[in-house]
């Protein structure tokens, strides 16, 4: 009789857990996956995928407006929110089926129930069944965080509910200045809502390059989105179908929807972590792990947003794959969390990889900045008042490109390719030696020859 019921028990059927389960099963492990909601996790069910579909849909309004400059006469158009939501639901259901099928094809078993740790090797399912496992992987992701309690918090929606609204709000207040808040601001504005963004900091997109922050804000404001910084929502009153949002500044805003997007917290509650001896990282509230994704308990690992390291789907997938390779493939793999490309599907779009100008100055003594801000070719005919930002951050001592920051159409698509060069430690000379692809916006990345700023850190005397 086997010592354990399964070789691997995965808690959570999201991107990281599914990848780990499939790879481990392919190595011959007996695997069970517990998912209490829907297979696919945050990204597929209520995150990046439906969000990107909404973003794409919201772009159409701008495309219609821009068409006139290219000779198109488009008659009266209309938009139906319910159709968008229904079609999105169909696509998410298809993806959920695909995730389920792929896990089952690998030989792993899915149980649609909650699993709680009783000790380092035992799990209790909500069905009452107990399962013992040689290894356990926690991949329960994260959830929206509403922050400190404010009066009327019960009237506020998160990004989860935004995907299932019965109708498009005519006016919406969104608290938050990060990527989720700005992406939904662009989505609702694109579909015709009056949007107000409220953020406690001095400017949106904290942690991003300062030029990116300024550029995105200016472009969003050009598109009619109101951005109020330096204050927070203090109270939300409901009047029938409408709301009044009271700000810490003393002003108030009327709307028919209020959304909070002020961050996410790791899903660690109620998992039985204490019973199993799994430690929480006091710095971020996520499960504490080492470079191999191992927790404080030798046979228990954690990947993805529940660790609160780099909360991005491709990172969770890479971590899950590395875990399975290391533990079941006997091929030790550590994930390199440096130089991770990221995108914000705001309008305009942001793509970034590597260091910001400020980070580079802190780490390197000589830093050169190459930056351009230009009107894209499409705008010359459409007449739209919009500009593209492209920026390279270079270590002047070695000529290595440390970071690339793009704001504009297809920024994410361009950044994915540039990320390969940055990861390979390409130099500015390598960029300069690359022939431009004309006419494109991205050709600017290989034609910027003169630094727009040079930073030299004086040595301490």
Rounded Cα gap, residues 333 and 303, in angstroms: 14
Cβ-based neighbour number of residue 283 at 10 Å: 8
Catalytic residue among 149, 239, 241, 438: 438
The two three-digit tokens of residue 251, written as one number: 């002003």
Residues 6+ apart with CB under 8 A from 90: none
Phi, psi of 69 (to 5 degrees): -65, -15
Q: How far apart are CA 318 and CA 309, in angstroms?
A: 13
Phi then psi dihedrals of residue 361, to 5 deg: -60, -35
User: What tokens does 116 get?
Assistant: 């709680």
Could you write out the three-class secondary structure of the chain?
CCCCCEEEEEECCEHHHHHHHHHHHHCCCCEEEECCCCCEHHHHHHCHHHHHHHHHHHHHHHHHHHHHHHCCCCCCCCCCHHHHHHHHHHHHHHHHHHHHHHHHHHCCEEECCCEEECCCCEEEECCCCEEEEEEEEECCCEEECCCCCCCCHHHCECHHHHCCCCCCCCEEEEECCCHHHHHHHHHHHHCCCEEEEEECCCCCCCCCCHHHHHHHHHHHHHCCCEEEECCCEEEEEEECCEEEEEECCCCEEEECCEEECCCEEECCCCCCHHHHCCCECCCCCCECCCCCCECCCCCEEECHHHHCCCCCHHHHHHHHHHHHHHHCCCCCCCCCCCCCCEEECCCCCEEEEECCHHHHHHHCCEEEEEEEEECCHHHHHHCCCCCEEEEEEEECCCCEEEEEEEECCCHHHHHHHHHHHHHCCCEHHHHHHCCCCCCCCHHHHHCCCCCCEEEECCCCC
Instruction: Judge whether 438 counts as a catalytic residue.
Output: yes
Residue 331 in tokens = 């091929």
Read off the tokens for 187. 């989505």
CA distance 401 to 392: 7
Which value, in Å, is the radius of gyration of the alpha carbons in the chain? 24
Residues designated as active site: 438
């Amino acid at each position: 009789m086997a010592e354990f019921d399964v070789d691997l028990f995965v808690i959570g059927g999201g991107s990281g857990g599914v990848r780990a389960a499939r790879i481990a099963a392919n190595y011959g492990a007996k695997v069970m996956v517990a998912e209490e909601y829907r297979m696919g996790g945050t990204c597929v069910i209520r995150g990046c995928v439906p969000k990107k579909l909404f973003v794409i849909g919201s772009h159409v309004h701008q495309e219609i407006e821009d068409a006139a400059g290219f000779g198109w006469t488009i008659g009266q158009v209309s938009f139906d929110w319910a159709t968008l939501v229904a079609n999105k639901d169909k696509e998410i259901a298809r993806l959920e089926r695909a995730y389920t099928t792929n896990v089952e094809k690998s030989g792993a078993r899915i149980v649609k129930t909650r699993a709680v740790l009783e000790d380092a090797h035992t799990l209790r399912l909500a069905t009452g069944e107990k399962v013992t496992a040689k290894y356990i992987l926690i991949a329960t992701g994260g959830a929206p965080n509403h922050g400190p309690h404010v009066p009327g918090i019960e009237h506020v929606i998160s990004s989860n509910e935004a995907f299932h609204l019965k109708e498009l709000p005519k006016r919406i207040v969104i608290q938050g200045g990060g990527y989720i808040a700005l992406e939904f601001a662009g989505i609702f504005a694109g579909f015709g809502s009056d949007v107000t963004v409220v953020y406690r900091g001095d400017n949106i997109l904290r942690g991003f390059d300062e030029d990116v922050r300024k550029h995105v804000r200016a472009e969003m404001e050009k598109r009619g989105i109101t951005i109020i910084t330096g204050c927070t929502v203090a109270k939300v009153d409901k009047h029938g179908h409408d709301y009044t949002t009271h700000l810490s500044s003393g002003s108030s805003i009327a709307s028919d929807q209020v959304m909070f997007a002020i961050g996410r917290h790791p899903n660690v509650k109620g998992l039985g972590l204490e019973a199993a001896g799994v430690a929480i990282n006091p710095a971020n509230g996520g499960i504490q792990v080492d470079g191999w994704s191992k927790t404080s308990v030798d046979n228990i690992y954690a990947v993805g947003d529940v660790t609160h390291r780099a909360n991005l789907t491709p990172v969770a997938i890479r971590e899950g794959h590395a875990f399975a390779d290391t533990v079941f493939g006997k091929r030790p793999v550590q994930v390199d969390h440096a130089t991770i490309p990221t995108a914000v599907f705001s309008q305009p779009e942001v793509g970034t990889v590597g260091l910001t100008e400020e980070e580079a100055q802190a780490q390197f003594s000589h830093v050169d900045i190459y930056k351009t801000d230009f009107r894209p070719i499409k705008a010359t005919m459409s007449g739209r008042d919009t500009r593209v930002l492209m920026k390279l951050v270079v270590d002047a001592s070695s000529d290595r490109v440390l970071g690339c920051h793009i704001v504009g159409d297809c920024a994410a698509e361009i950044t994915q390719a540039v990320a390969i060069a940055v990861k390979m430690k390409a130099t500015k000379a390598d960029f300069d030696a690359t022939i431009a692809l004309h006419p494109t916006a991205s050709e600017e990345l290989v034609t910027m020859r003169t630094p727009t700023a040079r930073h030299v850190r004086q040595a301490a005397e």
